Amino acid sequence: MSKLRVAVLGAQGRIGSEAVRAVEAAEDMELVAGLGRGDKLETLVEAGAQVVVELTNPGAVMGNLDFCVRHGIHAVVGTTGWTDERLAQLRTSLAASPGAGVLIAPNFSIGAVLTMQFAQQAARFFESVEVVELHHPKKADAPSGTAARTAQLIAKAREEAGCAPQPDATSTALEGARGADVDGVPVHSVRLRGLLAHQEVLFGGEGETLTIRHDSLHHSSFMPGILLGVRRVVTTPGLTVGLENFLDLG
């Protein structure tokens, strides 16, 4: 069987360099290009890349994906910074290139994906919920893509269940003290030397609390998800948001 021809964008970055090693070690894949800032995207076409793993930054990702989709190259995207407007723009370019598939995964680690699933399940049973994400201090964006997605999923589940707004008597606060408001869910961001990527979802009800915590201790936690995404995106045209769609969770 022929190997999947894979390229990595952001190949010298923290997660990109780990992804390069993971693709090189995968028996069913061949790394055909590893590009960094300033490298020409045409290299992807010249190298015959079938799938691009996009791990750059929010300022670069849209241009990179536009190029890939226009050239019929599938993409597995870990880069953060997604908004409804950006997703709509991507759907428009995919509509003009119907064979291409794009997976956007706010988090590639199985534990983080399950955290989001469990949080969605728990959401309707508790009056209060807040998200705390904790990351290394070199992270550019806040809140993390994972925390934003978690809060959105919780908010949707609460809305579908007809939950009342959360109780909160705060009448005066320093700016930022109550976190960022993501669809009505407070999200707090910590940046601390020594950490990698961590998240707690705190639920509160009458006389009880539930905390769901996930810790990524090494970038290797993201690699099985990236490789799964590469294998599945080639047969999944259009836009898929969330690795859970490829995990057969039932």
Ligand X SMILES: O=C(O)C1=N[C@H](C(=O)O)C[C@H](O)C1
Ligand Y SMILES: NC(=O)C1=CN([C@@H]2O[C@H](COP(=O)(O)OP(=O)(O)OC[C@H]3O[C@@H](n4cnc5c(N)ncnc54)[C@H](OP(=O)(O)O)[C@@H]3O)[C@@H](O)[C@H]2O)C=CC1
- Indicate which of ligand Y, ligand X, none lies near residue 57 (CB less than 5 to 8 Å, by partner kind): ligand Y
Q: Nearer to ligand X by C-beta: 111 or 237?
A: 111
Which residues, 6+ apart, have CB-to-CB distance to 40 below 8 Å?
none
Q: Nearer to ligand X by C-beta: 4 or 82?
A: 82
Q: Nearer to ligand Y by C-beta: 26 or 105?
A: 105
User: CA dihedral in degrees (167, 178, 128, 139; nearest 10)?
Assistant: 160
Q: Nearer to ligand Y by C-beta: 56 or 150?
A: 56
Q: Which of 4, 8, 15, 90 binds ligand Y (CB under 6 A)?
A: 15
Catalytic pick from 3, 40, 139, 188? 139
- Name which of 101, 106, 127, 126 is nearest 197 in CA terms: 106
Is 139 an active-site residue?
A: yes
**Alpha helix positions (H), the chain:** 14-25, 42-46, 58-70, 84-95, 110-122, 145-160, 223-233
User: CA dihedral in degrees (160, 164, 167, 168; nearest 10)?
Assistant: 80
Is 3 an active-site residue?
A: no
Q: How many residues bind ligand Y (CB under 6 A)?
A: 23
**Alpha helix positions (H), 37-182:** 42-46, 58-70, 84-95, 110-122, 145-160
Mask of contacts with ligand Y, 184-223, x by CB under 6 A?
Answer: --------------------------------------x-
Whether residue 42 contacts residue 49, with contact meaning beta carbons closer than 8 Å, is answered with: no
* Residue 10 is assigned to a ligand binding site: yes
Q: In the window 66-105, what residues touch ligand Y (CB under 6 A)?
A: 78-80, 105
C-alpha–C-alpha distance, residues 30 and 34, integer Å: 11
C-alpha–C-alpha distance, residues 15 and 160, integer Å: 36
Tell me how far CA of residue 25 lies from CA of 15, 29, 30, 166, 167, in angstroms: 15, 8, 9, 48, 50
- Indicate which of ligand X, ligand Y, none lies near residue 135 (CB less than 5 to 8 Å, by partner kind): ligand X
Catalytic residues: 135, 139
Question: Which residues carry a binding-site annotation for NAD(+)?
Answer: 10-15, 78-80, 105-108
User: Residues in the site for ligand Y, rule: CB under 6 A?
Assistant: 9-10, 12-16, 35-37, 55-57, 60, 78-80, 105-108, 145, 222
Residues comprising the binding site?
Answer: 10-15, 78-80, 105-108, 136, 145-146
Show binding-site residues for (S)-2,3,4,5-tetrahydrodipicolinate. Answer: 136, 145-146
